[in-house]
């Protein structure tokens, strides 16, 4: 009996060592670890399934906008989620903190976007704890690219597309340099750095030109604005988008629902409080009715 027990104990020890070796072999790559454990990173639908061929209404969210300001990046998103022509939720969170110095702003399918954000957050944590250092900027960008590319099948079927903005602060930047960075992604996972601003979602078409105008000809350049100036600019832009796009909401005065506004600076990610937004929104209103 003792011989059998010792044999089983050796097997347990061997299996544990093998499992530990398999974890170590992933070298900080949380996505590979999930795949090895057969974790469902994406949802596979039957071939030929399309949004037009199902009665299930998929929620979508818009609009998000990011601006590089004096201290880093400020990023905002409206709170409305829609399904077809119906407003199904007016308190959706579209600006999600991933780690201490990065945020993901989402447009498209919240269900897929939240899963991408969750895996991205755990991937950064896994790398930091297993490698005892932060994942590099390029590593973070490629990690998000892989997640978006893995979701391509859903995006092509028209029911799970996610087009995010990824904003972060580069801690390797010099102290006198603005390390705020804004990256825009396409459905294939390619990323592009936007120097001054980025916007995505159905309301973005109405405000992209305004941002370009402000960037070139504004009284104060976007990258020279302080936090209050930049926040007021974003509040005004979302209000403009809400007037032309039914899927976008601005400030809901009746429900006291403000857009989500976060800043990403050298000190970390911070959420602008409702008290500040209340005061700044009052300043953002026009002086006279049109």
User: SS3 breakdown of the chain: % helix, strand, coil, rounded to 5?
Assistant: 40, 20, 35
3-state SS, one letter per residue, for 80-110: CEEECCEEEECCCCCEEEEECCEEEECCECH
Q: Quick one: which of 200, 110, 111, 140 has its CA closest to 164?
A: 200
Pick the catalytic residue from 49, 62, 63, 263. Answer: 62
- Examine the residue annotation and report whether 62 is marked as an active-site residue of this protein: yes
157, 95, 67, 183 alpha-carbon torsion, rounded to 10°: -50
Q: Which residues contact 175 (CB under 8 A, 6 or more apart)?
A: none
Strands 72-77 and 64-69: antiparallel
Two tokens, residue 199: 């916007």
Q: Quick one: which of 126, 118, 136, 119 has its CA closest to 27?
A: 126
Burial class (CB in 10 A: 0-12, 13-18, 19+), 204: buried
Write out the catalytic residue numbers: 62
């Amino acid at each position: 009996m003792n011989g059998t027990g010792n044999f089983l104990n050796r097997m347990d020890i061997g299996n544990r060592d093998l499992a530990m070796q398999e974890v170590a072999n992933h070298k900080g790559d949380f996505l590979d670890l999930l795949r090895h454990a057969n974790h469902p990173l994406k949802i596979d639908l039957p071939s030929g399934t399309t949004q037009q061929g199902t009665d299930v209404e998929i929620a979508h969210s818009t609009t998000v906008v990011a601006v590089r300001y004096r201290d880093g990046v400020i990023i905002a998103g409206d709170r409305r989620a829609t399904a077809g022509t119906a407003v199904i939720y007016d308190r959706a969170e579209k600006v999600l903190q991933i780690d201490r110095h990065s945020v993901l702003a989402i447009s498209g399918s919240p269900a897929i976007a939240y899963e991408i954000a969750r895996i991205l957050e755990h991937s950064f944590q896994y790398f930091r704890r297993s490698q005892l250092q932060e994942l590099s900027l390029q590593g973070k960008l490629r990690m998000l690219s892989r997640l978006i590319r893995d979701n391509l099948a859903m995006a092509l079927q028209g029911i799970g597309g996610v087009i995010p903005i990824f904003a972060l602060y580069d801690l390797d930047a010099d102290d006198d340099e603005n390390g705020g960075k804004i990256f825009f992604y396409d459905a294939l996972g390619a990323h592009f750095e936007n120097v001054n601003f980025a916007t995505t979602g159905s309301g973005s078409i109405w405000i992209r030109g305004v941002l370009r105008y402000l960037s070139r000809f504004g009284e104060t350049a976007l990258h020279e604005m302080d936090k209050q100036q930049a926040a007021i600019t974003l509040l005004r832009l979302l209000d403009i988008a809400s007037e032309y796009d039914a899927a976008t909401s601005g400030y809901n005065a009746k429900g006291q629902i403000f857009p989500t506004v976060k800043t990403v600076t050298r000190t970390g990610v911070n959420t602008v409080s409702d008290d500040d937004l209340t005061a700044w929104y009052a300043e953002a209103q026009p002086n006279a009715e049109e």
